[in-house]
Chains A and B, each alone.
Chain A
Amino acid sequence: MGGVLLPGPSGQGANPAYASFPGKWDGEGFQVPVGLLRFLPLFPDTSPFIYFTDPASFRNNFDFLSTYDQATHLGSFLLNPARSPDELVFKVSANGISITDGQGNNLMPTFQVGTASDRPSTSIPQPFLPIRLGLGPGTYLSLGPFMGPQGIRIAPNPDLEQAMKDGSFDRCKVSTPSPCALEAQASFISGISVALGFSTPLPEIPGLGRVYAGVRAEGFYGLGYAEASAQARPTFDQNGNPSGANYEVRYFLSYRGGGDMGYGLRGDVGVAVDGGDWAFGLGVQNLLGFSQWSGVEVTVVDGTETARTSTTKKSGFSAPVFTVNGAYRLPLEVGALLLAADTRFGATAPAFHFGLEYALGPVALRTGLGVEGGLRFGLGAGLNLEAVTLDLALTTHQAPLVGGTVYGLALAVGF
């Protein structure tokens, strides 16, 4: 349904109240990470392993952009992952520089995923295959490893962006170092998460429905954290001609093997209402939280290490992420229609999804639209048999950097 978060237990990461919510809205099963198939050496454009099995084929076929696109959409087997341009043209003259693809289209190196920040966050990626233990009515403990990027961003600063639009470097020459810069930031986190949650139905409110409330405390023990930012500034000779670029790279590394230490704790709260034909929920992640990592910070200027200091990085105490979602079931003369929507905002890149499902007996047809780092569109079909549910979906998203639509196939199985 275009990536809509439906009310129900599958949404408990975003809203802890859903842990005890009835599962009548989100019947979908386990999302099979079919995207992993593309990392097999059978697919030379996206398999990094081909570097070891066939270096010559790697040099001719491997595509970093396609691999990145597939790695960030593991739930789908991408049919046409974003493809790097066949030709990149750099035109250099005394008046400026331009970067275009082979067809003369301007390429502005701007790209962002997640929130790239220069300090750690307590919002960690969802744990992978967590172990869950019930500790009594509504109370649970879950434990699982997690890893993933927290954000990636590459962009020209406003001065450079304007200079590239004008096709003239004049505004970059006004001072030294140049006010124009290309900036990049990325961070990566891995660790083990332990979450203790409590969720319970409250007494029914007449005329509204049953209300559910939940809280969760999630702590993590850090295994590794890396954060890097880089800046490149053009340099000019005495005649004002471009003579090269100055690079400054700053990175922070913290990992268990190096004797470094990282941990964090955060609190999430949520409330949800089940009104029979409709459901609605509001979740707040990281209402209160704290994390810190000790490690080493290194600054490299033009290839020479200029500073290396042991340091401790700390997060802020609150960076709430809000999730609001809802669904409405409309009975028709034949079959039933389900409308659902969700939105996410706060200390994250904003996202919005809307979806429709038409169910007739054991068969369901779905479609949806979403905005999440570009426009998404989805189409799907589900089969609900007694013992097993099977859901197949066509997913779409905007190709990073080069634009265009990428199609993928996703599969979910439930028992």
Chain B
Amino acid sequence: MKRPLMLAALLLALAACSGHTVHRIEVDFLSFVPEANRSGTLDLTTAQVQVPDDPAGQLVPVPGAEALLEGKVRVKAEVANTGTLPAQVDLEVRMGPEGDTNLYDDTDGDLEAKRVSLTLDPGATGTLDLTLDLAPGNPAFDLVKAGSFRIGARLNLSGEKVDYTLTQGEVALRLKLFNLIPNP
């Protein structure tokens, strides 16, 4: 009884849909972060911020990952050097398989999905613009396709002091639901 019900639910989801229809899901995840947590200061005492705090990162289950065609993650942050010395800011996104306990140690399959850097003179401002393309052939894509993965981001400062404000955080996934239909 379970299987026909599942198939019936799938049929409902596919109504008005076709083998040539692609579902694009765009999630503005920054809008879910409270306004107060979107900005902060990195200095000599806090030279590094991990999001989330846990080194194991955030576990993301992807039901129906077989349907995934491609995806894109975009994070943008405005940074301003408010110190008296030149500063370098790095933003890196790391991903790992479900069983990994530390995304930042290069063991158990975790990897650096993308890194961007910016060097700022005192008083200068700039934009960290990170775009991660998830496409076939890319190791990060294979992690997502596995059906469950861990993700985390780290902001690093080498310098004295910078202020940062996150201005964009979006995930866009392109799915073809017809790929979920089992063979007869």
Q: Do A and B bind each other?
A: yes
What separation, in Å, do the CA atoms of A184 and B34 have in the docked complex? 36
From A54-62, A317-325, A339-347, A372-380, the one touching the partner chain is A54-62
Task: Name the distance in Å between B15's Cβ and chain A's nearest Cβ.
Answer: 6
User: Which chain A residue has the least Cβ–Cβ distance from B179?
Assistant: A59
The residue from A63, A89, A230 contacting B26, defined by CB atoms under 8 A apart: A89
Is residue B31 contacting chain A, with contact meaning CB distance below 8 A? yes
What separation, in Å, do the CA atoms of A88 and B14 have in the docked complex? 12
Asked whether B20 lies within 8 Å of A63 as measured between CB atoms, the reply is yes
Asked whether A58 lies within 8 Å of B25 as measured between CB atoms, the reply is no
Task: Name the distance in Å between A199's Cβ and chain B's nearest Cβ.
Answer: 42
Task: Name the distance in Å between B24's Cβ and chain A's nearest Cβ.
Answer: 5
Asked whether A91 lies within 8 Å of B26 as measured between CB atoms, the reply is yes
List A51-71 residues whose CB lies under 8 Å from chain B. Answer: 51-52, 55, 58-66, 68
Is residue B178 contacting chain A, with contact meaning CB distance below 8 A? yes
What separation, in Å, do the CA atoms of A61 and B181 have in the docked complex? 13
Task: Point out which of B18, B22, B23, B26 has the most chain A C-beta atoms below 10 A from its C-beta.
Answer: B18
Interface flags, A291-304, vs B, CB<8A=1, else 0:
00000000010000
User: Which chain B residue has the least Cβ–Cβ distance from A99?
Assistant: B23
Asked whether B24 lies within 8 Å of A87 as measured between CB atoms, the reply is yes
Is residue A216 contacting chain B, with contact meaning CB distance below 8 A? no
The residue from A86, A92, A230, A300 contacting B21, defined by CB atoms under 8 A apart: A86
Task: Name the distance in Å between B25's Cβ and chain A's nearest Cβ.
Answer: 5
Q: A45-B18, A87-B23 are in contact. List 20 more A-B contacts (CB 8 A).
A: A60-B19, A60-B20, A61-B20, A62-B18, A63-B19, A63-B20, A64-B15, A66-B18, A84-B16, A84-B17, A84-B20, A87-B21, A88-B17, A88-B21, A90-B26, A93-B27, A93-B31, A94-B32, A95-B31, A300-B5
Report which A residues bind B (CB closer than 8 A): 45, 51-52, 55, 58-66, 68, 83-95, 102, 109, 111, 154, 184, 230, 239, 241, 300, 401-402
